[in-house]
Amino acid sequence: MDDKKDKGLEKGLTSYGDRGFSLFLRKAFIKGAGYTDDALARPVVGIANTGSSYNPCHGNMPQLIEAVKRGVMLAGGLPMDFPTISIHESFAHPTSMYLRNLMSIDTEEMIRAQPMDAVVLIGGCDKTVPAQLMGAASANVPCVQLVTGSMLTGSHDFERVGACTDCRRYWGRYRAEEIDADEIARVNDQLVASVGTCSVMGTASTMACIAEALGIALPGSASAPAVTADRIRIAERSGATAVAIAKSRLTPDRILTAHAFENALRVLLAIGGSTNGVIHTTAIAGRLGIALDLARLDAMGRETPVLLDLKPSGKHYMEDLHRAGGLPTLLRELKPLLHLDALTVTGRTLGEEIDATRPFAQDVVRTFSNPIYPQGGIAVLRGNLAPGGALIKQSAADAKLMKHEGRAVVFENAEDMAKRIDADDLDVKADDILVLKSIGPKGAPGMPEAGYLPIPKKLARAGVKDMVRISDGRMSGTAAGTIVLHVTPEAAVGGPLAWVQTGDRIRLDVPAREISLLVSDAEMERRRKEHPVREPRAHRGYLKLFLDTVTQADKGVDFDFLRK
């Protein structure tokens, strides 16, 4: 390909049938914004702007864009920010996951359509970083991921609180009538003390760490809180790095290799990361034709302890990890298990970046000899209830329930659960197993984070804090409990979960990695014939695209036609 035509403003010209005219017109329009020929001759760095009034997790976007632009210009490039879809967890109906793939398409196509030699992707809230990395992996233009950074913690009656582990804890206490309406209103003011992403190891923090472990975000960039000077400096350095990789043409496919994904999974396991991290990492890898194997993840989990003492598995918050040296402190400890030859956006390997860091005394990242949890945070379960696999965040579960057999109490869908879960006449006991169907990729649709079934009110009032809960949906990484998620295949496409009935016996055995429905094959066959499943369909729009093409959890819930 002609080198010049593939660079700067000459890249991807609009089709008028006359190259010269296309470039002439493009320059004429951009000069309307006051640019000089000197500026327009520089390497162009796109900056994906996901600022939105609906997205407080991205509330520092203006400052980050300004800093990225400064970094780009100091390095001799021309920064061009452009908008894409932004998604916030609490402002997306029916669920943010329904829109992740749409945002990935938007990101990919805007990177392709507009002239840019490199791009800085600014994301943060749970689905935005996965969507951006999926899009960038497909577009394969040199890219740096910049996260917005975590929010600060607040204080409620001198107790440190942060979203959203403490949101769930206080709401659980309110449901159990341990605290009153006045107190729950007061704590509501303190849970999110600043702009930025959730302050515990939820999906946003998990994906920030994964982006750094993948080498597609700057070393040390995952942990700086949103409102700190460090976060702004990271943004400036991300801009400068983008100019460097625009010149060296360091494309994502050279960074996002099979080794890099293994490093990311190691980190996911060692940080007690969100189960959502498995789905998103699978989807990003799928864009590059790299298959992530759940059996391999589980095998890695058996030799990778949780070392990070962060909520919900431990006690600290993201700002504490930053004070403890950030992710490099953990990477240094994990070094014997990492592929050190993996390349990063700096042009240096992960091993070289780890060696450049300086250890000091801290108590947020533990050593191998003194872990938070002896195995990886996530275990992969199999059995006749989940032939395609299911996950449990064992590091945030109740040790007493890790081997448990109980009677199923079944809810057919989210509406059914909402209607009955708090009824005084609900037939449920503390050692029962709550089962929720039809919240998978197609069932809800969009696989909402409804897998964290609330403890039925009458049991909560009696002091029950945890029960085994099973669904084909997801759970926020900020939540804790003995909760089996991502049961695959989902009920809505005819997975065995569809035919579980109240009264059936279910066995969970996490050490043996088993999730079994204790019902005979003949009985299951009878139920299948008697109640055939009708897959959800739609006639138009994005919902039709979604239902026609979305894959199951083991393929990352990506659209089938977007995978490589």
Contact set with ligand FES (CB under 6 A): 57, 88-89, 125-126, 163, 197-198, 202, 204
Nearer to ligand FES, 471 or 478 (CB): 478
Rg of the Cα trace of the chain?
A: 24
**Which residue lies nearer to ligand FES by CB, 126 or 166?**
126
Specify the residue, 204 or 342, whose C-beta has the smaller distance to ligand FES: 204
Query: Is the separation of the CB atoms in 421 and 435 below 8 Å?
Result: no
Whether a cis peptide bond, with omega within 30° of 0, leads into 219 is no
How far apart, in whole angstroms, are the C-alpha atoms of residue 38 and residue 53?
35
CB of 199 to ligand FES, least distance (A): 9
Provide, rounded to whole angstroms, the least separation between the CB of residue 392 and ligand FES: 21
β partners of residue 471: 436
Helix (H, G, I), strand (E, B) or coil at 490: coil
CB of 206 to ligand FES, least distance (A): 10
Q: Residue 72: CB partners within 8 Å, gap ≥ 6?
A: 45, 47, 78, 79, 120, 239, 240, 242, 243
The packing angle between helices 96-113 and 128-139, to 10°, is 30
Distance, CA of 310 to CA of 277 (rounded, Å)? 16
Closest separation in Å from C-beta 192 to ligand FES: 8
Nearer to ligand FES, 278 or 401 (CB): 278
Query: How near is the Cβ of 458 to ligand FES at its closest, in Å?
Result: 30
Cα angle 420-424-428, degrees, rounded to a multiple of 5:
70
Torsion from C-alpha of 256, 260, 266, 271, nearest 10 degrees:
-50
Question: What's the token pair of residue 7?
Answer: 């660079």
DSSP code for 396:
G
Indicate the residue among 57 and 421 with the shorter CB distance to ligand FES.
57
> Which is closer to ligand FES, CB of 89 or CB of 490?
89
Q: How far is the CB of 96 from ligand FES (least distance, A)?
A: 9
First to last CA, the chain: 23
Smallest gap from Cβ 84 to ligand FES, in A, equals 16
SS3 156: strand
Is the CB of 77 or the CB of 149 nearer to ligand FES? 149
**Measured from the CB of residue 42, what is the shortest distance to ligand FES in angstroms?**
34
Nearer to ligand FES, 123 or 496 (CB): 123
